[in-house]
């Protein structure tokens, strides 16, 4: 039974994405976007599935995969605010400084595809007919500027505010630190310093 994939990886595989299972700490980092588009909430999930001592482990952390209201109303790009398109981004991420401040998983090794929300209102929407592909700094980071310097967690379900302009953002510093500990474990145990991130729409009811 140890080789049976966890449900989240079964779903990932059913979408045609790669699943990584080459021994311990071969990380499968993923996001799940909720159909609930309530403005500015941490209502999505980030997660990681990996083997430890040959057994599958799955971790889930509350997060947002969508930009907050501030950057939808004040976009950093003239085309509109970035919303990461669902898909698998193979080897795109590495440990590096997010915004030059602290180590996170940063888009350094390749391109991602986003849609743009252009109308600056409080409704999350995007033009699926015009995807943008490139280097946009869509990182996996914390909802804090000092996630390693203090242990104060943001409340799950709190307001996204200015924490996301399109990045994938943890609701708590605890969850973020757990993700980074696993990322460093992959580097130290396996010697692999690039990471794949797979974003999926929520498939359960």
Pick the more confident residue, 150 or 66.
66
Interval 144-194: pLDDT, tens:
999 998 666 655 457 888 999 899 999 999 999 999 999 999 999 999 999
The confidence score (pLDDT) of residue 126 equals 67
Mean per-residue pLDDT of the chain: 91
The whole-model pTM stands at 0.93
pLDDT class for 1, splitting at 50, 70, 90? very low
Give the residue among 163, 45, 30, 101 at the shortest CA–CA distance from 154: 163
Interval 8-43: pLDDT, tens:
999 999 999 999 999 999 999 999 999 987 778 899
Pick the more confident residue, 35 or 69.
35
Asked whether the predicted pLDDT for residue 80 surpasses 60, the reply is yes
Asked whether the predicted pLDDT for residue 117 surpasses 90, the reply is no
Q: Which residues contact 184 (CB under 8 A, 6 or more apart)?
A: 95
The confidence score (pLDDT) of residue 167 equals 96
Asked whether the predicted pLDDT for residue 108 surpasses 60, the reply is yes
Residues 150/172, Cβ–Cβ less than 8 Å: no
């Amino acid at each position: 039974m140890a080789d049976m994939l966890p449900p989240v990886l079964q779903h990932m595989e059913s979408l045609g994405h790669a699943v990584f299972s080459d021994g311990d700490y071969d990380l499968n980092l993923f996001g799940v976007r909720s159909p609930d588009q309530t403005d500015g909430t941490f209502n999505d999930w980030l997660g990681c599935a990996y083997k430890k001592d040959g057994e599958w482990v799955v971790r889930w952390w509350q997060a947002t995969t969508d930009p907050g209201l501030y950057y939808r109303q004040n976009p950093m790009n003239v085309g509109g605010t970035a919303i990461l398109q669902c898909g698998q981004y193979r080897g795109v991420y590495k440990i590096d400084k997010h915004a030059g401040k602290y180590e996170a998983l940063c888009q350094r090794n390749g391109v991602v595809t986003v849609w743009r929300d252009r109308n600056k209102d409080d409704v999350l929407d995007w033009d699926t007919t015009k995807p943008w592909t490139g280097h946009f700094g869509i990182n996996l980071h914390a909802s804090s500027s000092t996630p390693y310097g203090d242990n104060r967690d943001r409340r799950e379900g709190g307001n996204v505010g200015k924490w996301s302009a399109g990045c994938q953002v943890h609701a708590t510093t605890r969850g973020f630190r757990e993700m980074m500990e696993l990322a460093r474990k992959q580097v130290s145990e396996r010697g692999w310093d690039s990471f794949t991130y797979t974003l999926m729409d929520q498939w359960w009811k």
